[in-house]
Structure 1
């Protein structure tokens, strides 16, 4: 089996196991065309996948997920962030300020709380063109029309001397609690969060929260990285990743040993062969340099500034370490390549060439003819057992 085919097989198996494991922690989503991920604590039909107060429903016509907040009404779910434990919701009537003014945005009977503490606003009814120059006013489009404009201002600012009197405006309502920052939200979208069940640490460790067992309200963290037992899919991956290559290695070693054994047995059989032996010519053996020759090569010591002879070459090609102040460098004549003195000295003791360009300095290499191991004339021989 080719290595690429084996790798593809292992990868596909791991993906399959991971999907099979993920399906155990992901709730069924009846909104088939809505791609929003729904898992604990959210769910449908009050099953064991959802925590009390986190039950969702589906608007089949618009394919929207709906979250019901007691005393407040239904809201469209736009996003769920499990790592920050926040959910972004939208008012179907597109007018959250109306709920704030009527004190109907009440989360007390739900497991959710505002993302931040309430801020108090004063709502004003102004003429349509009297508020364009007041930057601190928040225009509320859903409560305005062509004849008048409804605006809101932080109560603490409105009650100050500078903003007490806004031209052509009358007070509608003061000290209205608003649980989010309007400069980051529209008139219809807000974000709320939950503290119970608490799954932040589990999510940060890559795990998934869920009920512990089939009964009770206790929760547990599954598949957390670093702590606890490995998930089953990870165990399968380790077994496949280590077992299959190990098995192939054993098979390869066995094949190699079998081939060598076969050659050994075949080599002991009586054979007759004719060969013509040609004596090898003299070869040249290049040895290293002697100590006086090496010491004759110039040395350079870097100063405290670390300025290098060639600023673009600041790394020793032998040890691959950067040159530092006070380092001693040695330069090879002719090619002018330089290295750490200790590094190149050891090299030149065994080699008479530059480690970088492989050129031999003029007159520095020791070349001696080596004698052949055996010399024979052309002959015909017979191999006997």
Structure 2
């Protein structure tokens, strides 16, 4: 392929789109741009947003999002335009009550990870010292809990009133060792349409095409400086040239060596161990699964069974089947869940 053509393919704007400025709510640092638009902003007309992505600004500068079949508005805590994800919470600081009636039908959003939580209303005061309560749903006479654990579900079912089980779009999929939660963490949502993630990852801006209705395009603007797409093209071309030069050099050296009838044998490089040493792995604490313990090994994805041996990484307290994490740490010096790098006794 002609390298000049490759450069032109990445540098030239692939289409002409509606030119819409970025916006913020008051002095906020969360930028609002396509597919989102601020409804009351004169700088962002209706063509600057995608249907279902209209937001508003509160008196305190919060970004508010209305979900069609859920009462009230949510506050947007963050937006990642590249991964097409956003994080929402309750502006009144009682997210669990919003979760109980959450309905994402009719909206362009869905959860990235889901986990079933069962809600219970309990009058036993001692339980609040055993489990994590939900303060905004509790009072002096009753305490509300939410649990993803089957063993806690069985226990609370015998002493409390069951409210309902709700599928919650949690931030992370790992809740195997959580007994109860106050569910105050942001909800993590994503959207598939419009598909602007690739455009954003290359430094472009997504929007409606100016010469059609409903079609989405991507463009790069000079005011943005050198976009990631251009840098990607330059680095790609540089890599191609470097590879061609290396191939030419190898042919040249091979010809020289052939004429001299000399065989050059490179010395073998020492093996590089990327995992932890055996003494470090063996020193990690172990525990035996009990009859009431629950959970799934994140490595083999099998549920823990009674009398199986688990091993915990002290640096992050994540647990796995002992044989699974031993094999992993011999090859990888980091936790497979959070990528924390525990210290090696040989370093």
TM-score if structure 1 supplies the norm length? 0.45
Identify which of structures 1 and 2 has the higher relative contact order when contacts are C-alpha pairs closer than 8 Å and 6+ apart.
2
Structure (1 or 2) with the larger CA radius of gyration: 1
TM-score if structure 2 supplies the norm length? 0.50
